Structure 1
Amino acid sequence: MQPALELSIYTLLRMAFIWQLISTAIYVVGSLAIAAFLYDNFKSLVCIIKALLEPYFQPQLPQTLLDKYGKWAVVTGATDGIGKEYAKELARQGLNLVLISRTQEKLIAVTNEIEAQYKVKTKWIAVDFAKGREVYDEIVKELAGIPVGILVNNVGKMYDYPDSLDNVQEDVLWDIINLNIGAVTMLTRKLLPQMKAAGKGAIVNIGSGSELQPIPNMAVYAATKKYITYFTLALEQELAEHNIAVQLVMPLFVVTKMNQYSNTVMQGGLLIPNAQSFARSAVFTLGKTSVTNGFWSHGLQYFIMKMAPQHVRMLISHEMTRRLRHEYLNTQGKNKVS
């Protein structure tokens, strides 16, 4: 009986040791996962708090956007929505502006409004980024002699309403690719040499919270926003040694013309700010953090969404775009269902 008892004790000890190893491994992996999640989600908040406290400990550091980056800012897609309100908020802080958009009449109206309200210098450039490569030489020519300190890559395009890929017109898809990917890439490329020579600058790329997962019925739009995320994060590392800040802004739903296909979204609310509220909040983060959702409720939504696996987020997004699509078609009196 004694050998059997010893064998039983040995087996129990071995099982206990193996279980302890497994428990330790689970604990270590879980701790690392939690630490990574907290770092990703609270890094921006910590950076903002740090930036707010810095003036008390290092008052010699430049404090305003003008001091940090220079007197001139370029804003694309500047005649509506987030772009227009970004421009107005930068002007409120004393920056001169170059506004770039497609429609000359709207540009003239916005520049007149900003000049009258904020007493800053403005210039407008009317180009259609959907035309692709041909517009950038004209932009560079118009910007000659202007020391651009801040570039806000805001111009972009969404589907007319959520829909499956084969139902979206090819011209719309090309416009989405040229505006959402081409413009942010090529305009940044054109202005980088000037910023490097000046030894300072800021590039703000307006992405979207839709980059968090693939979104059926908005497949191309969400994919282009994922491009902006990766492009911006890589560029941030590239340009750090040149004292050029690169910021990624990832809003969720905002009351803008881009979302006018949905009466629900356009009603706004606690989770869906208007463009003015969003822009004022987002500009506040410039120079304080490199990644932001731009608005407190968007940050909260993003935080909660990231807790779910990507596949679950995609299923939820699919259901959301289905409902938005049906809402639009019902509003238009159409009977298509998918």
Structure 2
Amino acid sequence: MEAFQHQLFTLIGGLICFYVLVKCIRFMKYIFPHMWSAVPQTFFRSMGEWAVVTGAGEGLGRAYSFELAKRGLNVVMISRTLEKLQRAATEVEQTTGQKVKIIQADFTKNSVYENIEKNLQGLDIGVLVNNVGMLHNPLPCRFLNGSDIDESLVNCNIISVTKMTKMILKQMESRRKGLILNLSSGLGTFPCPLYTMYSASKAFISTFSKALQAEYKAKGIIIQVVTPYGVSTPMTRYQKPDLITKTAEEFVSESLQYVTFGDEVFGCLAHEVLARVLQFVPLWVFHSNRFQETVLHSFTNYLKKMWRNPNP
């Protein structure tokens, strides 16, 4: 009996070591993406002539528009604020020499899709970036202390992804190629208190994208959910970049190297490491009242500091 137990524990230990080794080897692809599975310069252009980017006026959407244009794609930039959209489009066009088409659309409204589809007719669309999104509350707060619930967040964060995907996936399926990147959030990887509505909407994007990839992978279409943590954008009030918080340009440039790495990526090496560290933190820690009170207290002190010194 003792010998059997010894062999059993040895086998279990060996399997665990083998599992960890495989995970470590697979993680190496994020450290050396060019060696693991280099994405050729012509990859994105081979998908089609045009890329469509939502929420393209600023932040990540603007950065994706620039990067995809640098890689040889013409870009359709869609956003709500016409002035920001026109300014960003001019910069992309003048910097890259690619064609740029703009469509003004407020994704909090459910009536914008007929006009979008009309303006996209006849375009050979190879890449779709569903980037547009909004926070229900700009600062962390408990559900009942937040803004009144309306359809805006659901329309912007959920309906926009499903409608835009269905609109463009049809032609990708007929051509048997295409790339769809759906922007989620690290806060959507677990039920996140104080950002309840936002967390839930981003969890939908993750599940939707992975299920859709299972349906259409065999048809030559890549559907990937990109799940960033900290990125310095208007949504994060241009938080100062550091080891974890990336500029939009840094994050997008790195994340486009990972488009062949599976149905979900965290977008950059720092966020890939952070995601794996957080997997070891029990969920009850984030759900504890002490943790929530600490977060609320920290943000209160941060705002007081900003009010006293608006230009640190």
TM-score with structure 2 setting the length: 0.86
1:42 shift after superposition:
6.0
Amino acid at match of 2:275: Y
**Cα distance in structure 2, aligned partners of 1:219 and 1:122:** 36
1:101 pairs, out of 79, 96, 108, with: 79
SS in 2 for 1:215: coil
Could you tell me which residue of structure 1 aligns to residue 166 of structure 2?
A: 189
**Partner deviation per Cα, 1:281-303 (whole Å, 9 max, x = no partner):** 11222234432111111111111
**Cα distance in structure 1, aligned partners of 2:14 and 2:279:** 17
**Partner deviation per Cα, 1:116-138 (whole Å, 9 max, x = no partner):** 11000010110111012x21121
Could you tell me which residue of structure 2 aligns to residue 130 of structure 1?
A: 108
1:66 shift after superposition:
3.5
Could you tell me which residue of structure 1 aligns to residue 310 of structure 2?
A: none
**Partner deviation per Cα, 1:252-278 (whole Å, 9 max, x = no partner):** 011111011xxxx71221121111111
1:206 pairs, out of 165, 183, 187, with: 183
**Cα distance in structure 2, aligned partners of 1:66 and 1:182:** 26
Assess, with a 3 A threshold, how the Cα gap between structure 1 residues 83 and 169 changes in structure 2: closer, same or farther: same
Amino acid at match of 1:215: C
| 1:299 partnered with 2:272 | yes
**Cα distance in structure 1, aligned partners of 2:283 and 2:17:** 17
Which residues in structure 2 correspond to 1:111-122 (within 5 Å)? Answer: 111-122=89-100
Assess, with a 3 A threshold, how the Cα gap between structure 1 residues 111 and 258 changes in structure 2: closer, same or farther: same
**Cα distance in structure 1, aligned partners of 2:21 and 2:97:** 43
**Cα distance in structure 2, aligned partners of 1:178 and 1:32:** 46
Count residues in correspondence: 305
1:318 shift after superposition:
3.1
SS in 2 for 1:268: coil
Conserved? CA contact 1:128–1:135, under 8 Å: yes
Amino acid at match of 1:193: K
**Partner deviation per Cα, 1:296-321 (whole Å, 9 max, x = no partner):** 11111111111222223444963563
**Cα distance in structure 2, aligned partners of 1:17 and 1:302:** 40
Could you tell me which residue of structure 2 aligns to residue 336 of structure 1?
A: none
Amino acid at match of 1:310: L
Amino acid at match of 2:279: K
**Cα distance in structure 2, aligned partners of 1:149 and 1:326:** 45
| 1:318 partnered with 2:292 | yes
1:105 shift after superposition:
1.1
Could you tell me which residue of structure 2 aligns to residue 221 of structure 1?
A: 198
Could you tell me which residue of structure 2 aligns to residue 58 of structure 1?
A: none
Which residues in structure 2 correspond to 1:30-41 (within 5 Å)? Answer: none
Q: Which has the higher helix share?
A: 1
Could you tell me which residue of structure 2 aligns to residue 10 of structure 1?
A: none
| 1:276 partnered with 2:249 | yes
Structure 1 residue ranges without an equivalent (≥5)? 1-12, 56-60, 334-338
Identity over aligned pairs, percent: 32
SS in 1 for 2:225: strand
1:46 shift after superposition:
3.8
**Cα distance in structure 2, aligned partners of 1:135 and 1:38:** 49
Superposed CA RMSD: 3.0
Conserved? CA contact 2:89–2:100, under 8 Å: yes
| 1:74 partnered with 2:52 | yes
Bigger Cα Rg: 1
Could you tell me which residue of structure 2 aligns to residue 165 of structure 1?
A: 143
Assess, with a 3 A threshold, how the Cα gap between structure 1 residues 33 and 246 changes in structure 2: closer, same or farther: farther
Assess, with a 3 A threshold, how the Cα gap between structure 1 residues 136 and 54 changes in structure 2: closer, same or farther: same
Amino acid at match of 1:94: G
Could you tell me which residue of structure 2 aligns to residue 8 of structure 1?
A: none
Conserved? CA contact 1:268–1:274, under 8 Å: yes
Could you tell me which residue of structure 2 aligns to residue 256 of structure 1?
A: 233
SS in 1 for 2:72: coil
**Cα distance in structure 2, aligned partners of 1:95 and 1:175:** 31
**Cα distance in structure 2, aligned partners of 1:183 and 1:39:** 37
1:85 shift after superposition:
0.7
